[in-house]
Amino acid sequence: MTQMQGNLFDTAAACLGEPDPARKQAATQAAAEQWQAGCLHADAAGAAPVRELPGRPERPELVPPRALKARKLKSREGRAAMIHAVAHIEFNAINLAWDAVQRFREMPMAFYADWIQVAAEEAEHFGLMRNRLRDLGYDYGDFPAHDGLWEMARTTAHDPLVRMALVPRVLEARGLDVTPGMIARFEAAGDPETAACLGVILREEVGHVAVGSRWFKRLSEERSLDPGPLYFDLLREYMRAEIRCPLNLPARREAGFDEVELDRLQALCRAGEAGRAG
């Protein structure tokens, strides 16, 4: 008996477009299982047009980053606000993974396999953070959030090489840098449950950044470009070469950054700190 086949790009766009967080999680898990079972095929010619916008719930309210208050973990509300910020990042990360699948329709099958797995893991991460919010008497949407991750998705929509350089290897890599400190802060605040959840996220996010590193380098080489200098050219063009310290060097090494890159990134960190201090 022949298995029913679905179009991968339409399935990815449906996951991207689902506004309800719980249904987005469930659709993501179902799509990953369909892919593993061989029930999805990548048929660009037969797929609907690329979806440009993600589905989102009515809340949280999206505000500029500078409008967000500092989150102190001494209070239950402060811990919940910080957890909410992580949950929002993970919700956006689900969308970013599915957008990479449904937008870039001329990539090898291994690319789709990688980003489907990332989408499934990001959905699990969102679930971990949402459960912690509920444990504290809150839910996703109860605090304002910003839209920086999806703004970068729009900026990089024209080229998978630029997307791989700037989303996994800049924005998500920043998570590798800051999460160890967050874990320590939650442990110090007497919240080992959230610290443990963040530990799971940190371990798996190393793999997500590594996926970005692998495809950035592969796409660079396919275009006969040197990925080392190109990465920093893109940082200057799109990010004004702004990198914040400290860097989680062991995690970044595991995620595919080489020593030349790390030396240059640390130099950019130090220059930025000196500029802010001046």
Domains in the chain, ordered, with CATH? Answer: 74-277 (1.20.1260)
Question: pTM value?
Answer: 0.95
Sign (positive/negative) of CA torsion 177, 262, 99, 61? Answer: positive
* pLDDT at residue number 277: 59
pLDDT at 1: 31
User: How open is the CA angle 171-206-26, to the nearest 5 degrees?
Assistant: 85
The H or E element that residue 131 is part of is helix 109-135
DSSP secondary structure code for residue 46 in this structure: T
Q: What is the pLDDT of residue 78?
A: 95
Give the pLDDT score at 148: 83
Q: Provide the pLDDT for residue 2.
A: 40
pLDDT at 4: 53
**How many residues in total does the chain contain?**
278
DSSP code string of 175-204: HHHHHHHHHHHHHHTT-HHHHHHHHHHHHH
**According to the model, what pLDDT value does residue 278 have?**
56
List the structure tokens of 99: 């957008």
- Distance from C-alpha of 227 to C-alpha of 162, rounded to nearest angstrom: 11
Structure tokens at 263: 């030396």
pLDDT of 275 reads 63
Q: Using 50 as the pLDDT threshold, list the residues of the chain that sit under it.
A: 1-2
Name the H helices within 20-108. 21-36, 76-103
User: Tokens 């240059």 belong to which residue?
Assistant: 264
pLDDT 10s digits, 108-147:
999 999 999 999 999 999 999 999 999 999 999 999 999 8
- The CA distances from residue 244 to 103, 170, 204, 220, 247, in Å, are 30, 10, 22, 25, 8
